[in-house]
Each structure stands twice: as C-alpha cells, then as structure tokens.
Amino acid sequence: MGDPTFDRLGIWNWERENIDDEIQYAIYAEEKGFDTVWQGESRLVRDAMTVMGAYSQVTESIKFGPGVTNCYTRNVALMAQTFSTLDELSDGRAMLGIGAWWDPLAKQVGIDRESPLRYMWEYCTVLKKLLDLENVTYDGQFIQVEDIELDLVRANADPRTVPIYIGATGLTMNKMAGELAAKGVVDGVYMNYIIPPEHNEKAMAKLEEGAQKQGGSIEDVDRPQLIAVSMDEDRDVAIDTARGLVTQYIGQQPHITKASGIAPEVGEQIGEELGGWPANAEDIERASRLVPDEVVTNVVAAGTPEDCVQKVAEYCETGCTEPSLYSLGPNVEEVIDVFAEFKAA
C-alpha cells in the first residue's frame, strides 16, 4: 500500500486528566487543518454538551459533536433545544452523534432498552422535525409529543442545520441508519471502534440495503468513524498501551465482542476475568493476558507512525469517510501532526 491521503480528519476527545487539555487539543487540531472534534460521552464521563460549549468559544472553523451521546437520558425536546443552542453558539458548527447506549450501564441507571431500533427511529424522526422548526405532534410506540416546537421568541428563527449521525455497530442498526439517511432524517452513521476493518464491509452492505429500501444509495450516508490509535516508535510499547482498552471492550460490551471477530467463548472468558462492569486495574491486567497481540492490532491502529497511518487507511478503504482519531497515549499532538502530513490539500 502506498502513502494514503485523507480528505477529512477528526479527533476524538475523551476524559483526559485535565479538561483544559481536551480544549487545547481541539484548538490544535483546528490549527493543523482537521475538520472535526468529537467528544466522548459513552460512559458516565464528562458531559459532552458542556465541553462542546467551550469548544464553540475557542475555535473558529472546526466542527464538533458528541461521539456519541445517547437517545434515552435527554428528552427529545431537550436534545433539540440543546443543539439549537450549540448551533447558535458556534455559528452552525454543531453536529449530533447519537447512539442507543449499552447494557449493563443503561440498566444500572434505570433505562429499559426495549426495542432500541424502534426507539432510535422515533427519536431521530421527531428530533429532525424540531430542528427544522416544525410544530410536531407524534404518537409513537416510545416517543409521544403533542403540539411542540422550538420556542425561538427572540433568537434567530432559521432552521437548525445540525447534521445527525447514528452511532451504529450492529448490522441491523446500520440498515436502519441507511433508511433514515435516505429519507433525509439523518446524515449518516458514526461508525464504532474496537472492530476490524472487515466489519466495515458488512456494515456498508447493510447501510446500502437500508438506503435502497427508501429509494436512496450508499452515497446518501456519510460515515465518519471512531478509530483508536496507539502510536509509538516501539511497536511493542504501542500494542501494550492498547491492550487494556481492547480487553475492557471485548469483555464488557457484547455488541463490540460480536463485531470484533473474536471467538464468543474467548470473549466470555475475558468477561469472567474482568468480573463485570466496571472493572478495576487489577481485573484488567489479569484479563488482558488473554488478549494476544494479533487481536489488538486487528481492532486498533497500534504500532509505529507508519503502521498507524496504514491501518487507518484500511478503515477508509472499507467504508470510513472521515477517521476520528482517538490517541490512547498522551501523545495526542504527535498523532495529530503525523496524520496532518497525509491530509489532502
């Protein structure tokens, strides 16, 4: 494989030790010509909305969105209200990545994820209408609203053109996202990480199937993707840095275990060693001994700078339209610098 070029690039921020560092990384990525910064909110970490409000005030051109928030803990009207506000704060740079969360965390905070596909369909349908400044009455299986609209008494009353991306890992969710993209409800999917590039190919087939069902095509579906990057001149160090994260995801999140391509019985064994969610450092260290190097490098861009660039290019060749880079080490600016060299002019 020759040197790749990336038409678009993004970074993914997620609970650095100092929150000011996340803000600085967003500024630095913008300076280096990156297109987006996505703020992780998949666990009970920092609230993405608050941090994105800060991004809106210290950057000028880079787009930002949660990667991803969930469709349960924020009422659909509140979500529309929040992103209408972020759209105003940033002069139209806000995006929304939204997913169906995961168990056991959802269950532990009292969320019953009955029929997440149907819930997501209804939620996004109503959300899009509200952002378009429509008056909405909707009587769904899960979402019921009556005669509501964004109450923009003194604010700019133009429709909010906030791109919506469904966080999709499972193939059925990808198919549904393809349908919603073809219908103009969402703009695409935010593809997940800790999965191999070949899973992208399966997802692409389902995205196209869904889009065609609604009279569209795969071209209707934008496909940014979260990709974990563990970069070090010493390849072994890079792989070891990534091993703990890989261990947690394939041992604790069944949808990731399935998509990762690892044998189910191995995933179960790793989960047993972790002892449930959340796992402590000792549990992760013990369970990580069951995760060989080849599993790590199959689902993470781990290795030398050249290794990382080539691995990310594989994700792009199999469907990703914009890599969203999550540096697993402290060398975030180095990762940005390396990939900026391959950014298309």
Where along the chain do its domains lie? 10-229+319-340, 234-303
pLDDT at 214 over 90: yes
Task: Give the model confidence (pLDDT) of 21-51 as tens digits.
Answer: 999 999 999 999 999 999 999 888 899 999 9
Looking at domain 10-229+319-340, its CATH superfamily turns out to be Luciferase-like domain (3.20.20.30)
pLDDT digits (tens, 9 = 90+) for 313-332: 999 999 999 999 999 999 99
pLDDT at residue 182, rounded to an integer: 98
Mean pLDDT confidence for 152-169: 92
User: Coil, strand or helix: which one is 265?
Assistant: helix
| pTM for the full predicted model | 0.94
Q: Which tens digit of pLDDT belongs to each residue from 229-257?
A: 999 999 999 999 999 999 998 888 777 88
66-123 pLDDT per residue, tens:
999 999 999 999 999 999 999 999 999 999 999 998 888 888 899 998 899 999 999 9
* pLDDT value of position 154: 83
Bridge partners (DSSP) of residue 96 are: 164
CA distance 315 to 323: 8
Q: List all residues 6 or more positions away from 340 whose beta carbon is below 8 Å from its beta carbon.
A: 9, 32, 33, 34
Is the pLDDT reported for residue 1 higher than 70? no
Beta bridge partners of 69: 98
Average of per-residue pLDDT values in the chain? 94
